[in-house]
Amino acid sequence: MILIVDLSYKKNSLSFEEFVLPIASIVEKTGTDFNIKHFTELCEEDLRSSEKVILCGTALKDDEFLKHEEEFSWMKKINKPILGICAGMQLIGLVFGSELIEAKEIGMKEIKLKKPNKLFSTDLYAYELHKYSIKPNEDFEILAVSDLCVQAIKHRSKEIYGVIFHPEVRQRQIIVNFVEKVS
Amino acid sequence: MRLGVLFSGGKDSILALYKAMEKEDVVCLITVISDNKESYMFHTPNIHITEYQADSIGLPLVTIRTAGVKEEELKELRRVIEMAKEKFEIDGIVAGTVESVYQATRIQRICDSLGLWCFNPLWQKNQLDILREVVELGFDVVITGVFAEPFDSSWLGRKINSKTIDELKKLSEIYKISPAGEGGEFETTVLDGPIFKKRLEVKGFSINFSKGSGIMEIKKLELKEK
């Protein structure tokens, strides 16, 4: 079971169909069960019953999730793979003490691989929609960068990944790889 | 949240509008009338029908005309969104973009520059699912433009229903085209549906088809009680 977390400003917002359903659709095609929850309704049972967690992105103007960083401290406690997409990567960075930095990118960009990993092993051309990225601290290794900012990170001792671009748009295999190869 | 919906009068923008009306406060429709039939951004056949659709739905329409020169037309799009922001105090824009990162990127950038939210409720959605959803919701959708093989003039005026969807699915598999016309293979016009207070009845039209493409131009229509 994959837990897919909606980080949008409110439950069942217009962003749900834009940032959550495309992820669910990719997970569904792998034949893996999933459970979608808005972040305000996450409970311990959701985390306990899931093998992995995907934190979805939000609209460019939606920073509501940043006001709720403390509600994601469970990321430090559960020993399960997590993939944070855009807003999700920002939260992962913040929860583990990294710095949020202003870095706006909108549209397709070239992404340079820094370290081959279970999610991807080549340079990428990917869709961006973010105002911030993360300046990772020593807990993380940098997997990929653009000419502006860090694009992908992995926790050094946990199976916790973050990508600031949106793999659901042109790099769907990254989500499939997380579902099938990360454990 | 007060929203304006980018509106071409076709199936995608009507479905985006329907979804936006379910969840937020839609206060206006926004239409760019492009004089360029091959515009990269804007649906063109029967764009004048948006006036009747807006009237039937009961929403004000904000329009602008553009020569449709690539990238230049984006300035007109920015201007019309700015007009909607000033007149109707919108907080954001809704678009019916499905796959095009070209369109999505440009609309996102314009919204960002104007401090507006941007929503794309059909983004990355399966194209056959869009057709099915539009039909299941009860929208009356007619094909009014065909621009690629294997579509011929017999497709002009055809309604989207479960039989049409099955045919489009088969054609998409054979010809490797988008089953929902996302690649510009065909365009649609919506004449009725659950958010229409009156239905649009076509009273006169012409069909112009040559060299593999054509349009059904709606010349005359009336709003009829439902």
Does the predicted interface ipTM exceed a cut of 0.85? yes
Domain residue limits, chain B: 2-119, 127-225
pLDDT digits (tens, 9 = 90+) for B153-210: 999 999 999 999 999 999 888 888 888 777 778 899 999 999 999 999 999 999 998 8
- Check whether A108 has a pLDDT greater than 70: yes
Mean local confidence (pLDDT), A97-123: 98
Cβ distance B108 to A60 less than 8 Å, yes or no, reads yes
Cβ distance B117 to A107 less than 8 Å, yes or no, reads no
Instruction: List residues of A with catalytic annotation.
Output: 86, 166, 168
| Chain A interface disruption, residue of B18, B103, B123, most A CBs within 10 A | B123
In the prediction, which pLDDT does B49 show?
Answer: 93
Rounded CA-CA distance A18/A30 in Å is 20
Rounded CA-CA distance B46/B53 in Å is 11
Which is more confident, A20 or B42?
A20
Rounded CA-CA distance B188/B180 in Å is 10
In the prediction, which pLDDT does B41 show?
Answer: 58
> Is B27:B20 a contact under the CB 8 Å cutoff?
no
Rounded CA-CA distance B82/A131 in Å is 22
Rounded CA-CA distance B205/B182 in Å is 25
| Burial status of residue A102 (CB atoms within 10 A of its CB: 0-12, 13-18, 19 or more) | exposed
How high is the mean pLDDT of chain A? 97
Domain count, chain A: 1
Question: Do the domains B127-225 and B2-119 match in fold?
Answer: no
Cβ distance B105 to A22 less than 8 Å, yes or no, reads no
In the prediction, which pLDDT does B39 show?
Answer: 60
Q: Which domain holds residue A9?
A: 2-181
| Chain B interface disruption, residue of A16, A29, A106, A131, most B CBs within 10 A | A106
- Find the range with the poorest average confidence among A43-47, A142-146, A167-171, B70-74: B70-74
**CATH number of this structure's domain B2-119:** 3.40.50.620
Q: Does domain B127-225 have CATH number 3.90.1490.10?
A: yes
Assign residue A92 the CATH number of its domain.
3.40.50.880
